[in-house]
């Protein structure tokens, strides 16, 4: 299952409090990448800020468990929003309409 993970800084934590942990956090993300859990990682082009990850996992719960090892998550400095993805099936309606038109 592909999962998008949006990280958000805990509003009670300042960026200065987080900075000393950035190197350890990046290393932990890299470790999950080499294990095949994290597949891609990004930051917003318009604002910067916390990371956006794509994760491959059996379930949201399995992904959540793996991501709990991230230092900023362990220290409750960031919160993660895990969004499971599924194939976009609404295109079926478009193709069905084209097939019906062609048969008429």
What's the pLDDT score for residue 103? 67
**Residues 80, 73: contact at Cβ < 8 Å?**
yes
Q: Across the chain, what does the average pLDDT equal?
A: 91
What range does the domain containing 97 cover?
2-103
Q: Which residue has the tokens 């478009």?
A: 94
Task: Report the number of distinct structural domains present in the chain.
Answer: 1
Residue 28 pLDDT > 90: yes
- State the CATH number of the domain containing residue 56: 3.30.70.1060
Alpha-carbon torsion angle 19, 25, 27, 30, nearest 10: -130
Residue 92's Cβ-count burial label (10 Å; 0-12, 13-18, 19+) is exposed
Give the tens place of pLDDT for each residue, 51-73.
899 999 999 999 999 999 999 99
| This prediction's pTM | 0.81
- Who contacts 52 (Cβ-Cβ below 8 Å, separation ≥6)? 4, 5, 6, 7, 41, 42, 43, 44
């Amino acid at each position: 299952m592909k999962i998008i993970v949006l990280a958000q800084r805990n509003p009670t934590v300042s960026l200065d409090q987080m900075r000393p942990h950035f190197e350890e956090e990046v290393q932990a993300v890299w470790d999950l990448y080499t294990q095949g859990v994290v597949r891609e990682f990004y930051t917003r082009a318009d604002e910067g800020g916390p990371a956006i990850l794509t994760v491959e996992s059996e379930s949201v719960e399995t992904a959540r468990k793996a991501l709990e090892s991230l230092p900023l998550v362990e220290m409750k400095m960031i919160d993660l929003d895990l969004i499971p993805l599924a194939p976009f099936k609404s295109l079926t309606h478009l193709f069905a309409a084209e097939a019906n038109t062609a048969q008429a």
